[in-house]
Amino acid sequence: MASPRGITASRLTRWRALSVVALASLSALAMAKEGAPTAPVVNSGLDAPLFYQLLIGEMEAAEGRGTQAAEFMLDAARRTRDEALFRRAAEMAVQARAGEQALAVIKVWRSTLPASREAVQLQIQVLFALGKANESVEPLRTLIASTPPAQRALVLATLPRLFDRAGDAKEALVIVEQVVQPYLDTPDTRTAARIALARAAWASGNSSRALDLMRSAQRDEPAAPAPALLAMDMMGSVASAEAIALSYLARPEVEPAVRMAYARALTASQRLNEAAAQLRMVVAQQPANTAAWLGLGAYSIELKQLDEAEGALRRYLALKAQEAAAPAAASPPADPGASPDDDDEANTDTAEDPKGHDPVQAWMMLSQVAEMRGDLRGAQTWLDKIQAADVDLSVTTRRAAVMARQGHIDQARQLIAQSPEREPGDARAKALAESELLREVNQPQQAFGVLEKANERFPDDVSLLYEQAMLAERLDRVDDMELLLRRVIALQPDHAHAHNALGYSLADRNMRLPEARGLIEKAMKLAPDDLFIVDSMGWVLYRQ
């Protein structure tokens, strides 16, 4: 007898495999529903037609017919009122990239099981994926209303993240306003609701409203960090926002995480002395805060405070060694006869970082400190702590720089050339690293040649063109510099530094000053807080 619907031997084999999986899954589901495994066996609602329907649905999905599979599963879910089957039907539609079908499945799911938070959450995700944020007001309201009161503030606080990719910031503001309206004056939720609305207002360009909401939130709840954290995010574009942050930081007790956020905001404005001061307060309050010690080391290097940098980085490594040793101390040693002195300093330093801060960064920075002191042997010693598995192009470049400073320029260049190219951009990065190395040892002509060859291999690469232009300027090849920078601007019109470099170079040579000023003005519009561009504007105005 002919097989129905053209069933082949391979398809029958696949059906048998799926049958086993389906039976096992449904058996486990039945056991879970009935309680402990020792409970008496109770027949589930799975009859032969339902089993066949589920099997056909999975077969359709396996064959790439996701929309048909979702229909099979939805029909089964509707009849059984089983949330797992609704979930599977929605998954099938999503995997088939059938967004409208997924929404239809979720609509039936919600009408059948009105209390399902999972259905609401999935509906919101699908709406945003389809660019239908304007239809999300009802499910968002439902989700927040169904959230336990103690957790509502957290849900409100995460609301703006949904709209990061929504596209229309003004529409997002309208939606957020409708969703948070019932929670703006409730004591448990008012701060989270106002800050969510403030973020949406700021994203839409309404900074004054955002500031008003933040001040209102801070006035009603001075101990809440959320207004200050948003103010720190806004500092780069809204000058008056910093006052809100400072008002919170003036409190006697400030969470270290908030101070670290303020340090990052200060760093974006090149206020490194103030950022380092914040981290000093953090380590005074939390002496075991590894991230703060690592950050303080980095700031101190930039500020050329080498003793403080070395002390901070060594403290960081000591803390990481303690963290790595703590779990080992809590468990029995593998060798009961091992001596506690068997572990030396090198072994503790190379322990994996259990909290995500990498000791390799500290070794790299300590190498930089030694190099800045003229201690090239010490710089190499720190680099030698890095294991082969952790060596990437940044480590190789640091090693090459130390070799070049010792006069071994050819070997240093060869070290970079031999570095593996694991990612598509590694070849460009190697060219930039080699040119930087040659520039540091005062061989700008050779550096220019390296970038010239790289630009032949990777035409229209903005980074390579810009760096070659900077070398042309150093070599007083002004015409080449201008051609290269104009090429960068043509490829990337919002490249602030290209506009600034060309404008500054013209002003420095007292050439075409109106054009130079126009270029720098454009750069200032693109990057209004860049101090180098501000300096260029002062110079061209002086020239004029």
CA distance 101 to 430: 48
Measured between alpha carbons, how far is residue 315 from residues 99, 359, 365, 385, 479 in Å? 53, 11, 13, 17, 51
Q: Is residue 162 scored above 60 in pLDDT?
A: yes
* pLDDT tens string 429-463: 888 887 887 887 788 888 888 888 888 888 888 88
pLDDT in tens, 378-407: 888 888 887 755 566 777 777 777 777 777
Flag whether pLDDT at 350 surpasses 50.
Answer: no
Interatomic CA distance for residues 275 and 299, integer angstroms? 8
pLDDT computed for residue 13 by the predictor: 42
- pLDDT tens readout for residues 196-246: 999 999 988 899 999 999 999 999 999 999 999 999 999 988 889 999 999
**Residue 22: is its pLDDT beyond 90?**
no
Taking the mean position of all CA atoms in its chain, how far away is CA 406? 38
Which of 49-53, 96-100, 106-110, 308-312 is predicted least confidently?
49-53
Q: Comparing 319-333, 368-382, 530-544, which segment has the lowest mean pLDDT?
A: 319-333
Q: What is the DSSP-derived secondary structure letter of residue 388?
A: G
Residue with tokens 């200060």: 266
Question: Looking at the predicted structure, is the pLDDT value of residue 482 above 80?
Answer: yes
pLDDT of residue 352: 37
Q: How far apart are CA 496 and CA 532, in angstroms?
A: 11
